[in-house]
């Protein structure tokens, strides 16, 4: 017997996991993935699509680029809108670039 090396003991053979525990674990991971990642993202996409469908002339919008303006023209067949950012200055923007519809009068308060 050595002071630095302990005696080796025969280890009991490790139990093998059966397939049902593996399937349960995969199902739990699937549920976590669904409720934590997929479902909230699908909800955001649905809200953004409804926002784009409800855009109309006269709405004040905020684009992804940070531009605040009033919608002058909505083109349904091409998915573009014309946004007036200042008097005499109009920008054509894709509907998907609209981040939010602002309350009326927001542009005047800025």
Task: Show me where the domains of the chain are located.
Answer: 54-109
Give this prediction's pTM.
0.67
User: Tens of pLDDT along 99-108?
Assistant: 999 999 888 8
Element (DSSP H or E) covering residue 25 = helix 19-33
Contact 75/81 with Cβ under 8 angstroms? Answer: yes
Contact 46/38 with Cβ under 8 angstroms? Answer: no
**93 DSSP β-pair partners:** 81
In angstroms, how far is CA 99 from the centroid of its own chain? Answer: 12
What is 54-109's CATH topology? SH3 type barrels. (2.30.30)
d(CA 4, CA 10): 19
Contact 63/97 with Cβ under 8 angstroms? Answer: yes
User: Tens of pLDDT along 28-48?
Assistant: 999 999 999 999 999 999 999
């Amino acid at each position: 017997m050595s002071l630095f090396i302990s005696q080796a003991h025969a280890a009991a053979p490790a139990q093998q996991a059966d397939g049902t525990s593996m399937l349960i674990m995969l199902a739990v991971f699937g549920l976590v993935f669904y409720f934590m990642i997929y479902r909230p993202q699908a909800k955001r996409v649905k809200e953004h699509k409804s926002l784009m469908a409800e855009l109309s002339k006269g709405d004040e919008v905020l684009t992804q680029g940070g531009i605040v303006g009033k919608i002058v023209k909505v083109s349904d067949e091409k998915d573009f809108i014309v946004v007036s950012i200042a008097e005499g200055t109009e920008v054509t923007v894709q509907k998907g670039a609209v981040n939010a519809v602002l309350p009326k009068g927001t542009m005047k308060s800025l």
